[in-house]
Structure 1
Amino acid sequence: MRAARCRRYGPPGGLAVVELGDLEPGPGEVLVRVQAAAVNFPDLLLVANRYQVPAPLPFTPGSEFAGFVAALGPGVSGPPVGTAVAGAVLTGAFAEQVVVPVAGLRPIPSGLDMVHAAAFHVTYATAYHALVTVGQGVAGEWAAVLGAAGGVGSATVDVATRLGMRVVAAASSQERLAVARKLGAQATVDYVHEDLKARIRELTGGDGVHLVIDPVGGDHSEAALRALRRGGRFVTVGYADGRIPRIPLNLVLLKDAVVRGFEIRMLRQYAPDAVKAGDRVLARMVSDGMRPLVSRVHPLADVASALTDVAERRATGKVVIDMTGGV
């Protein structure tokens, strides 16, 4: 099988596509023939050895995929061979085959092709649970979304709007804000050229937002926290800026604010009922026409370019690697 391999830590340009032996599923595992795999920001961190959990060299990066069940390991009774599935792993998805614990697989919502199925679950589940399970957002509230044209950000704008929230989308250019407006954002802020705190307060009638979803970090986090109304909630879900913010705790005290973190990998362990509820809501949204924003699709041979698109913020929404195209 063909697979992208990281042989040394560093920028994504160091990745190479190589031939490896076919995989075999072990006890409790399923072998999936990968059709498409989406690029997520943690993939870049793993390749650079900057993620919370290191991946020993050499390894195949990639965490989110869609494909067909090819074989079942010992003790696994299903899903049947040939079933279309999506799933997530820490590493291994940027390859023609991946082995994953059966619990890490899920059915593909009706209406999604393989490219969109690969791009769907991680970002849309992150968006839903950051907004609802952790952020306690409800219809009618103002929600500020940072990095609103990125993978998690665009999904969060989409889901929040469909849940009836009023979204203030914040991004780094007018072109990226136009993407957020198409997804339903009611108001936008260019946080490169505008004062994020002041503009959010102005757009919300002076009171500020009820909820902030922040997948960016860096300098914008504190400004967004300052734009919360009293008793508001701030959910940190990632640091695409590359810098982890240092938040003055007196702001939390003075605003009576709630600051929470969200990391999707552990959700199925500590909140299985919430996961099931979220999956049902997201499936209904897909049936109503919701689709993840996929702006670029690369063949596996261009895996380094695909990751560089994300690293340099050249793309909006998701970047996907199509295992069935190219050489």
Structure 2
Amino acid sequence: MKAILYEHFGMPDQLKFKDVPNPEPLENQVLIEVKACGVNFPDLLIVQNKYQIKPELPFSPGGEVAGKVIGMGKKVTHLNIGDSVLALCGWGGFAEQIAVNQDRVFKIPAALDPKLAAATLYNFGTSYHALKDRANIQKGETLLVLGASGGIGLAAVELGKIMGAKVIAAASSSEKLELCQDRGADLLINYEEEDLKSRIKELTDGKGVDVILDPVGGKFTDAAIRGMAWKGMYLIVGFASGDIPKIPMNLPLLKGCEIAGVFWGQFSKIEPDKNAANLDQLTHWLIEGKIKGPIVKEYPLKDAKGALMDLQERDHIHKSVIIVS
């Protein structure tokens, strides 16, 4: 089969398109014919050896696969040959086939386009877990989304509206904010041109925001947490800026607020039933058209390095998807 391989850690332009042996599933694994694979920020970190997941070399990146079951080990019980599935594989998805442990494979409706599944469910699964399971966001609360035009952020904007929140989208350009507005954001902040803390206060009549979802980190974290309402919730999702901020611990004391980590990958392993229920809800919203999802840019498998290089620029407003078969 064909696959995109890293033979040593480095930059995206070092990827190689090669023939490799077809995988053989172990007794608790599912063999998947890959239809599409989403491209996400952790993929970029993994190939540079900067992520908590560190695969053995050589490996294929790609942790969000949609496809069809074509084989399985004898201990697999909840799936059948021919099922449409989403697999959260960590890596290995930039390939024509992949063998994945059965607890990381989730059945999805056959009516759901694999491209849409691969473009949507990783980011929406993360944001839904953050807002539902960690923040328990309530109708009428105010949600501030940092990096709101990115994959996680845009998902949070859409889900926040579905869940009844008033959504403030914060991003770095007018083009990005227009996309957020199209996805339902009520209020907008350009944090490269406006003072984030002051604008939060202005837009909330001095009250502050109830929930902040932060997949960016870096220089905006301090200003954002200073704009929290009493007993608010700060959701730490990631550090796309490349800078892990140090939060002065007097701030949560003065705000009476909580800071919660959001690690969807670990949640999906430790609480698989809750995660499966979340994915089921998301797929229904997708099929019903309640979720628009991202603007998708497609790449054939042989050009997958272009998708990672595009992601590295961080100035795009689309979601890259590798179309495999």
Instruction: Output aligned runs, 1:257-296, within 5 Å.
Output: 257-289=257-289, 290-296=291-297
Match of 2:30?
A: 30
Contact 1:213 1:234 in 2 (8 A): yes
Inter-partner Cα distance in structure 1 for 2:77 and 2:198: 57
Inter-partner Cα distance in structure 2 for 1:271 and 1:103: 11
Match of 1:161?
A: 161
Q: Using a 3 Å threshold, how does the CA distance of structure 1 residues 102 and 274 change in structure 2: closer, same or farther?
A: closer
Residue type of the partner of 2:230? R
Inter-partner Cα distance in structure 2 for 1:31 and 1:198: 52
Report how far residue 125 of structure 1 moved: 1.0
Contact 2:112 2:283 in 1 (8 A): no
Contact 2:121 2:279 in 1 (8 A): no
Report how far residue 149 of structure 1 moved: 0.8
Instruction: Output aligned runs, 1:85-96, within 5 Å.
Output: 85-96=85-96
Report how far residue 276 of structure 1 moved: 4.0
Inter-partner Cα distance in structure 2 for 1:6 and 1:101: 22
Inter-partner Cα distance in structure 1 for 2:17 and 2:272: 37
> How many positions carry a matched residue from both structures?
324
Report how far residue 178 of structure 1 moved: 0.6
Inter-partner Cα distance in structure 1 for 2:235 and 2:250: 17
Confirm or deny that 1:320 pairs with 2:321.
Answer: yes
Report how far residue 278 of structure 1 moved: 2.1
Match of 2:71?
A: 71
Q: Using a 3 Å threshold, how does the CA distance of structure 1 residues 69 and 280 change in structure 2: closer, same or farther?
A: closer
Instruction: Output aligned runs, 1:57-206, within 5 Å.
Output: 57-109=57-109, 111-206=111-206
Residue type of the partner of 1:174? S
Report how far residue 105 of structure 1 moved: 1.2
Contact 1:111 1:286 in 2 (8 A): no
- TM-score, length-normalised on structure 2? 0.96
Contact 1:37 1:94 in 2 (8 A): yes
Inter-partner Cα distance in structure 1 for 2:219 and 2:198: 15
Mean Cα deviation higher: 176-185 or 1-10? 1-10
Q: Using a 3 Å threshold, how does the CA distance of structure 1 residues 272 and 21 change in structure 2: closer, same or farther?
A: closer
Report how far residue 273 of structure 1 moved: 4.6
Q: Using a 3 Å threshold, how does the CA distance of structure 1 residues 109 and 81 change in structure 2: closer, same or farther?
A: closer
Report how far residue 76 of structure 1 moved: 2.1
Inter-partner Cα distance in structure 1 for 2:111 and 2:192: 37
Match of 1:235?
A: 235
Structure 2: state its 5+ residue gaps. none
Contact 2:200 2:208 in 1 (8 A): yes
Q: Using a 3 Å threshold, how does the CA distance of structure 1 residues 176 and 13 change in structure 2: closer, same or farther?
A: same
Inter-partner Cα distance in structure 2 for 1:307 and 1:66: 18
Contact 2:37 2:93 in 1 (8 A): yes
Q: What CA RMSD, in Å, does the superposition of the two structures yield over aligned residues?
A: 1.5
Inter-partner Cα distance in structure 1 for 2:112 and 2:81: 20
Report how far residue 296 of structure 1 moved: 1.1
Match of 2:308?
A: 307
User: CA-to-partner distance for each residue in 1:242-298, whole Å, 9 max, x for gaps?
Assistant: 111111111111111100101011113433453244234323422430242133111
Residue type of the partner of 2:278? G
Contact 1:112 1:291 in 2 (8 A): no
- TM-score, length-normalised on structure 1? 0.95
Contact 1:144 1:170 in 2 (8 A): yes
Q: Using a 3 Å threshold, how does the CA distance of structure 1 residues 88 and 280 change in structure 2: closer, same or farther?
A: closer
SS of the equivalent of 2:250 reads helix
Inter-partner Cα distance in structure 2 for 1:300 and 1:24: 21
